[in-house]
A and B are shown apart, each in its own frame.
Chain A
Amino acid sequence: MGMKIKRIGMFTLVVLLILSVVGCSSNTETAEVAGSVGGGSSVIKVASVTPLSGSQAAVGESIKNGSELALAERVDEFKALGFDLQFAPQDDQADPKVGVAVAQRLIMDDDLLAVVGHWNSGVAIPSSEVYANGSLAMVSPANTANDVTDRELPNVNRICARDDAQGPAGADYAFDELGIKSIFILQDKTTYGQGVADEFMNQYKSIGGEVLGYEGVTAGESDFSAVLEMVRASGAEAVYFGGIYPEGSLITKQLKEKGIDVKFVGPDGMDSGEVINIAGDAAIGMTYTSLAADISGTPEGRVFIDNYTKMFNKAPEAYSSYGYDAMNVTLNAIKAAIEGNGGEKPSREDVVAAARATSGFKGLATNVTFNKRGDNTEANIYILTFDEAKYPATVTKEIPATGYLKD
């Protein structure tokens, strides 16, 4: 999910970007004014680092807004402890080089105690190495790549599930609940698509499913007729596609046009309203896994949506609540570190230890308990199915990701 490009109207993004830059600069200004009033050493800053410009600015901004809301709600709580809590939103432009430069700047700021970020796993991985050098705690709202925590850096944590959980979860669901006993696997040859398809295949084989074919397609192409003929010839009951919605939707549509009657199972790359635009009625019956919870059903979720809409004048997106939860986990860790330090401002090392010790956190989108790698043992994977040609799809099952954690 982290590596995915949200292909929404470019122009909207540009407008959003301009607005968000305007928004950010005014925020920093007020923060600086508050800082100078409060005086040097009592200031505690927490950064959010997400793409605020470029093609992924919309999702980056929605995460930043979620964490900004969480921080704003707790300024008074920190004031009571004698600290001036400030928000420092940063733009990584979805670019690893920019992310590392931002990280270098952040570790130079002594008042900055923790980071909420990033959106792209490819940015989070190199940037978190820099944070590790500066002993800066990072709580990731949305980075799903295995390597984010598999490097076992003490400062890196994430509240969402891992990529190697959704492939196997999808395989279990397809085999046990959908009763699919033989499958044909397609993937788009990207790190994400092939990775998730391979995880799916290993699990599916190990629980007794039969893999009748494994083929790659090229992202950006439109004609999948030859591989679909192979699907037909193989006689598989279903297709698993490791990849993202433009190709996935076309495959779904072409399967229907060719009259190949198989089920379609996919990863969270299929989680987009565009699926319906492209595939239309052919999308009915499609099943996919997702790592983001839908919070609109809970009372807390509705309060969050109200507050968010009031503060930012727009509705939250799927990962806003993860930005909110990640910030609260971070602030709880800072608070615990303050208490552990006798009410004095804690060191960054204290915050790193306190963040990793997070346990039993009850959040909006997810509960959080970190294991020794910094993976969240309480993260969930969601199975969704299109019952009608309408987005979003219906959640048919919630699977705890903890069963898929390797340790």
Chain B
Amino acid sequence: MEQMTGMIPQLLIDGLTLGFVYAIVALGYTMVYGILEFINFAHSEIFMVGAFAGTEVLLFMQSAGYLGSLPAPVALLIAIIIAMIFSGTVGVVVERVAYKPVRTAPKLVAFISAIGVSFFLQDAVRLVEGLWKNAFYLSTPTLFTASIHITGGLRIPVKVLYIMVIAIVIMFSLNLFINRHKLGKAMRAVAQDRNTASLMAIDVNAIISLTFLIGAALGGAAGTLFAVQYSLIHPYVGFIIGMKAFTAAVFGGIGSIPGAMLGGILLGLLEVFGAGFLGILTNGVFGAEYKDVFAFAILIIILIFKPSGLLGKTVGEKV
């Protein structure tokens, strides 16, 4: 027991860090679902592309010598912004090329198209990095090494603080945009009823592109934060994160933006606490490797009682 309480504060920090990354990726899934009722399975690869873009920017700054002279948070911000622009563009192009032509076709067609895009992006990144760097495992430069010591063994790495702050700022501004801005209002209108929205002089195609742009840009930001936190990326890094983030989006209620944030953070916490405590609680019968089973079991239980997710609304069927 004493061992457990000693671990709680540190696990809380680790779980929140992981949860914020899940949350930002989950936003991309939930936004596209909200508008098109279709799960963009290529989003995990957009995340990966963003991670590569951010890492390449940081590597460039490192080789050009800017990394030492710029304050680390500024360097991180530059990397995030470039990664957001890059992956946002990729997201819009993907929508135009792979989803728009099949928008009126059955949902399954777009879904298969998304899987195709996934494979394409993985191998494209592998090809480009292989040609360019002769390796497709990239190591992200270390930006922050310091950590703040609080009582006893508890320490918060500075980079975790930056990641949390940036994640909160991103989520807060997204919420503000969706709820207050005219374009955000248009997005919500398209989500509710595409045809009626177009009757109200909303350019539905532009709004869908905008949704992909924002969702993919968030994926890019999450990718860069992930790369800085865990410092190893490869073309297949999106798969597990994508799965978990999608789960988080369903957990929180797919289509709901605050739901994706809540779902992501809860999933991160569940996973880390599951890994830390399962062994102790079950006396070694279930070890840390059962953390996903634990997290997903809780997810299933919640979905049984609340099928639309924690913050999801049961909406009537769309015509």
Q: A221-B240, A226-B275, A258-B155 are in contact. Are A10 and B7 (CB under 8 A)?
A: no
Q: Does B6 sit at the interface, judged by CB under 8 A?
A: yes
Q: Does B180 sit at the interface, judged by CB under 8 A?
A: no
- Which residues on B sit within 8 Å (CB–CB) of A221? 240
A216 near B289 with CB under 8 A, answer yes
Looking at the complex, which of B23-31, B100-108, B128-136, B198-206 is the stretch in contact with chain A? B128-136
- B38 CB, min distance to chain A CBs, angstroms: 26
- Which residues on B sit within 8 Å (CB–CB) of A189? 289
Q: Does B126 sit at the interface, judged by CB under 8 A?
A: yes
- B145 CB, min distance to chain A CBs, angstroms: 8
| A250 CA / B240 CA spacing, docked (Å) | 16
B131 near A229 with CB under 8 A, answer no
| A216 CA / B288 CA spacing, docked (Å) | 6
Closest to B144 in A: A257
- B15 CB, min distance to chain A CBs, angstroms: 8
B14 near A10 with CB under 8 A, answer no
B232 near A217 with CB under 8 A, answer no
Q: Does A74 sit at the interface, judged by CB under 8 A?
A: no
B288 near A215 with CB under 8 A, answer yes
Binding site of B, secondary structure by majority: helix, strand, loop or mixed?
A: helix
| A217 CA / B287 CA spacing, docked (Å) | 10
A246 near B272 with CB under 8 A, answer no
B240 near A233 with CB under 8 A, answer no
Q: Does B69 sit at the interface, judged by CB under 8 A?
A: no
B142 near A280 with CB under 8 A, answer yes
Binding site of A, secondary structure by majority: helix, strand, loop or mixed?
A: helix
Give per-residue flags for A210-253: 1 if the beta carbon is below 8 A from chain B beta carbons, else 0. 00011111101111011101101100000000000010011001
| A89 CA / B180 CA spacing, docked (Å) | 69
Q: Does B172 sit at the interface, judged by CB under 8 A?
A: no
- Which residues on B sit within 8 Å (CB–CB) of A249? 232
A220 near B272 with CB under 8 A, answer no
- Which residues on A sit within 8 Å (CB–CB) of B271? 226
- Which residues on B sit within 8 Å (CB–CB) of A250? 230-232
- Which residues on A sit within 8 Å (CB–CB) of B272? 223, 225-226
Closest to B14 in A: A225
B289 near A217 with CB under 8 A, answer yes
Q: Does B291 sit at the interface, judged by CB under 8 A?
A: yes
| A9 CA / B266 CA spacing, docked (Å) | 37
B14 near A9 with CB under 8 A, answer no
Q: A9-B136, A259-B147 are in contact. Are A229 and B276 (CB under 8 A)?
A: yes
- Out of B130, B147, B226, B240, name the residue touching A220 (CB < 8 Å): B240
Q: Does B139 sit at the interface, judged by CB under 8 A?
A: yes
- Which residues on A sit within 8 Å (CB–CB) of B274? 226
Instruction: Enumerate B1-23 residues with CB–CB distance to A below 8 Å.
Output: 3, 6-7, 10-11, 14-15, 17-18
- Which residues on A sit within 8 Å (CB–CB) of B231? 250, 253, 278
| A221 CA / B14 CA spacing, docked (Å) | 14
User: Which of B127, B147, B232, B236 gathers the greatest number of chain A CB atoms within 10 Å?
Assistant: B232
Closest to B241 in A: A222
B157 near A12 with CB under 8 A, answer no
Give per-residue flags for A261-283: 1 if the beta carbon is below 8 A from chain B beta carbons, else 0. 00000000000001001101000
Closest to B131 in A: A11
- Out of A215, A233, A258, name the residue touching B289 (CB < 8 Å): A215
- B233 CB, min distance to chain A CBs, angstroms: 9
Closest to A234 in B: B3
Closest to A12 in B: B134
Q: Does B111 sit at the interface, judged by CB under 8 A?
A: no
- Which residues on A sit within 8 Å (CB–CB) of B226? 222
Instruction: Enumerate A328-372 residues with CB–CB distance to B below 8 Å.
Output: none
- Out of A222, A226, A246, name the residue touching B14 (CB < 8 Å): A226
- Which residues on B sit within 8 Å (CB–CB) of A257? 147, 157
User: Which of B126, B134, B135, B292 gathers the greatest number of chain A CB atoms within 10 Å?
Assistant: B135
Q: A9-B135, A11-B131, A222-B226 are in contact. Are A233 and B3 (CB under 8 A)?
A: yes
Closest to A277 in B: B139
| A278 CA / B55 CA spacing, docked (Å) | 13
Closest to A256 in B: B145
22 A-B pairs whose Cβ atoms sit less than 8 Å apart in the complex: A9-B136, A214-B287, A216-B289, A217-B288, A218-B289, A223-B18, A225-B272, A226-B271, A226-B274, A227-B276, A229-B7, A229-B11, A230-B7, A230-B288, A246-B137, A246-B234, A253-B231, A258-B155, A259-B147, A259-B153, A277-B139, A280-B139
Interface residues, chain A, with chain B CB atoms under 8 Å away: 7-12, 189, 213-218, 220-223, 225-227, 229-230, 232-233, 246, 249-250, 253, 257-259, 274, 277-278, 280
- Beyond the given A226-B276, A280-B139, could you list 8 further A-B residue pairs with CB under 8 A, ordered by the A residue number? A218-B240, A223-B272, A226-B291, A229-B11, A230-B288, A249-B232, A250-B230, A259-B147
Interface residues, chain B, with chain A CB atoms under 8 Å away: 3, 6-7, 10-11, 14-15, 17-18, 126-127, 129-131, 133-137, 139, 142, 147, 153, 155, 157, 226, 230-232, 234, 236-237, 239-240, 271-276, 279, 287-289, 291-292
